[in-house]
Amino acid sequence: MELTFLGTGAGRPSRQRNVTSMALTLPQPRGSIWLFDCGEATQHQLMNTPIKLNKIEAVFITHLHGDHINGLPGLLSSRSYHAGSGPLQLFGPQGIKDYIDAVFRLTSSHLDYELIITELEAGVIYEDEELIVEAHPLNHRVPCWGFRIVEKDKPGTLDAAKARELGVPFGPLLGQLKNGRDVMLPDGQLVRSGDVTGPDLRGRIIAILGDTVPCHGVGQLAQGADLLVHEATFQGDMAEKAAAYGHSTTLQAAEAARAAGAQRLYMTHISSRYRDEDMVALLQEARSVFPESYAGADLMSIQIPRRGELPQDSSLS
């Protein structure tokens, strides 16, 4: 799994940061893309990455503020020009369907693929054989949501040599053992999957939050996450101003990560008052609370390893 930050700024674009969007690349062989928020110029940012619009299979919108959604109509329209664009699922707050319908009606736009719109309710909003997505409400100036992406556990690696020693022939029975199913051999011997496979591979958990002040929903989403993406609009001593605008500080993001037992925190939605040279001090104050704190940057890609694996990226600074 890989997460690419397409925009890490707050409110409006700046010379150093575009407004909010990020793309999650799902594990191979699936390799498709889930997009989280779609601020203005998101599709322009995508042109600076290997990501193709026809690989995006779902878009998740946290809330209807313009810096999180104004790039969506253009991106959806452009996707029609990419060969092989299949159905796309769009998840967002109440009102997102009205928004899309109004923009497309007034601009006479149409799509050459099926757009499936789901307006959010708390709980599981999506599940397939590999992944579960939960949505929980946050506390912002407008209805706002966060998403918890849970990868299902997978059976451990098959020890083919050990299976052969137990008399399992090459063929379908090995595949069944690899997939976690016990098998009966022709001679009546039962071979248990657990006897010839390693421990299950624990699924990863990614929590991606919209704009919020500290609230109960943050903990629900972030609990035990391998990666927590949390807004940190202001520095730690600006908690009063942050609360007035429905936002969090660096220290509050770090406290949320620590309380949830997260493995890594990436802060985003950084106010345009802060320049690149300010980020060292912001990181230091977050790390005083939660050492595994990092700052997102536009076009940065980070690997999300399984527990016990080392990240394969060089962005940890």
pLDDT at 104 > cutoff 70? yes
**pLDDT (average), residues 168-172:** 85
Binding residues for Zn(2+): 63, 65, 67-68, 140, 211, 269
**pLDDT (average), residues 67-95:** 96
Binding residues: 63, 65, 67-68, 140, 211, 269
What is the pLDDT at residue 312? 52
| Domains detected in the chain | 2-154+201-303 (3.60.15.10), 160-196 (no CATH)
pLDDT at 310 > cutoff 80? no
Q: Please tell me the pTM assigned to this model.
A: 0.89
Mean pLDDT across the chain, nearest whole number?
93
What is the pLDDT at residue 309? 67
**pLDDT (average), residues 55-82:** 97
The catalytic residue positions are: 67
H helix intervals, 16-147: 42-46, 66-69, 72-79, 96-106
What is the pLDDT at residue 171? 83
Q: Are 56 and 30 in contact (CB under 8 A)?
A: no
More confident: 128 or 199: 128
**pLDDT (average), residues 12-29:** 95
pLDDT band at 317 (very low <50, low <70, confident <90, very high): very low
* Residue 121 CB neighbours (<10 A): 11
C-alpha torsion 279→20→216→293, nearest 10: -30
Q: Are 130 and 151 in contact (CB under 8 A)?
A: yes
